[in-house]
């Protein structure tokens, strides 16, 4: 029996299994258990949630391997971890821990302001953020097996996530309306490889799973992103920076499955207590915005 590991199909297929689910940021084993019990389809292990990175400042790096392994030991669901943009040695370290997915993330401080990681060199699959279709296709060209639209992480303000989902969706719809001889210029304008542009024009969707992230704080936010065409959602600070994490986590899981059912959404939105206080994206000076990191 010949076996092939680390193929594009098993990397992309792993993301297919996460669809319709919620991936939650957790900083320790207890939070990871709460997330699993609430029905999270995966957890993102990190030392500081984006809201704290924002508040405390400084350089944000990959997490301590000890902390990641404690979380791996605590739950049976997939565990993801973040590395800095372009920091391929952090990625080598995280891969060696047997983490199920790596997030090359703008939430951490970037390492390389020109290149992202060559993700084809790894067996572990990568998810990367994108604000538009060209950025998404550049990441897929580098080997990303899953894309998440970027929002403004750590704010609880879902407006940027909305903008980016509309942009990506709109650019995909535009490609499907072009003549075949117009796709060459479309590829030039998107700054993306022609082969991927042609594939999106033919299928009307990305070649990998598209989640959404950044600023999602309520079940209604999660359902909004699903109605906008996301395959699933990442919730970072929104759960464990709220008044009642276990209940809010379970409510967001239900809202992501029943995103089209206003009655269910009303039921799960009742009595959740305080949502994270949040920051309006418009109040954050442009140099401090995370979504704009990535090239």
Partner 1 sequence: MKVGVLALQGDFREHLKAVADCGHTPVDVRRVSELHEVDALILPGGESTTIIHLAQNFALFQPIRDAIAQGLPVYGSCAGMILLADRIVDGVKDQKTFGGLDITVRRNAFGRQVDSFESDLTFNGASLHAVFIRAPWVEQIGADVEVLSTAADHAVAVRQGNLLATSFHPELTEDLAVHRYFFEEICKGR
Instruction: Please identify, using beta-carbon distances, which residue of 42 and 46 lies nearer to partner 1.
Output: 42
| Helix, strand, or coil (residue 281) | helix
CB of residue 172 to partner 1, shortest distance in Å = 17
The reply to whether 82 belongs to the active site is yes
Instruction: Please identify, using beta-carbon distances, which residue of 110 and 125 lies nearer to partner 1.
Output: 125
Whether the CA torsion 216, 222, 224, 228 is positive or negative: it is positive
Count CA atoms within 13 Å of residue 78 on its CB side: 20
Query: Residues 152-188, buried b or exposed e (16+ Cβ, 10 A)?
Result: bbbbbbbebbbbbbebbbebbeebeeeeeeebeebbe
Answer yes or no whether residue 171 interacts with partner 1 by CB under 8 A: no
- The one among 26, 46, 73, 75 contacting partner 1 by CB under 8 A: 75
Interface with partner 1 in residues 175-214 (CB under 8 A): none
Choices 51-59, 123-131, 133-141, 217-225; region in contact with partner 1 by CB under 8 A: 123-131
Answer yes or no whether residue 121 interacts with partner 1 by CB under 8 A: no
- The one among 101, 126, 211, 234 contacting partner 1 by CB under 8 A: 101
Helix orientation angle between 262-269 and 219-227, rounded to the nearest 10 degrees: 160
| 220/209 Cα distance (integer angstroms) | 21
Which residues of this chain interact with partner 1, rule CB under 8 A? 1-7, 9-10, 13-14, 16-21, 36-42, 75-78, 95, 98-101, 123-125, 250, 253-254, 257-258
Annotated catalytic residues are: 82
């Amino acid at each position: 029996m010949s076996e092939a590991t680390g193929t594009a199909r098993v990397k992309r297929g792993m993301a297919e299994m996460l669809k319709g689910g919620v991936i939650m940021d957790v900083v320790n084993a207890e939070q990871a258990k709460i997330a699993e019990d609430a029905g999270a389809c995966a957890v993102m292990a990190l030392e500081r949630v984006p809201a704290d990175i924002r508040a405390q400042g400084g350089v944000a790096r990959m997490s301590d391997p000890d902390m990641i392994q404690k979380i791996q030991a605590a739950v049976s669901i997939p565990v993801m971890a973040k590395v800095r943009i372009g920091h391929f040695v952090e990625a080598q370290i995280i891969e060696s821990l047997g983490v199920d997915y790596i997030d090359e993330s703008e939430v951490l401080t970037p390492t390389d302001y020109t290149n992202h990681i060559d993700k084809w060199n790894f067996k572990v699959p990568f998810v990367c953020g994108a604000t538009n279709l060209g950025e998404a296709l550049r990441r897929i060209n580098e080997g990303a097996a899953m894309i998440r639209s970027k929002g403004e992480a750590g704010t609880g303000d879902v407006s940027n996530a909305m903008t980016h989902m509309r942009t990506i969706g709109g650019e995909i719809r535009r490609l499907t309306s072009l003549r075949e001889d117009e796709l060459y210029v479309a590829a030039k304008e998107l700054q993306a490889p022609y082969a991927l542009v042609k594939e999106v024009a033919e299928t009307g969707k990305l070649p990998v799973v598209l989640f959404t992230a950044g600023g999602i704080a309520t079940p209604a936010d999660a359902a909004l992103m699903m109605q906008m065409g996301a395959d699933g959602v990442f919730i970072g600070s929104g759960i464990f920076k709220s008044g009642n994490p276990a209940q809010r986590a379970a409510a967001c899981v239900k809202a992501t499955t029943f995103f089209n059912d206003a009655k269910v959404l009303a039921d799960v939105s009742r009595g959740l207590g305080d949502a994270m206080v949040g920051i309006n994206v418009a109040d954050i000076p442009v140099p401090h915005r995370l979504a704009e990191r990535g090239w």
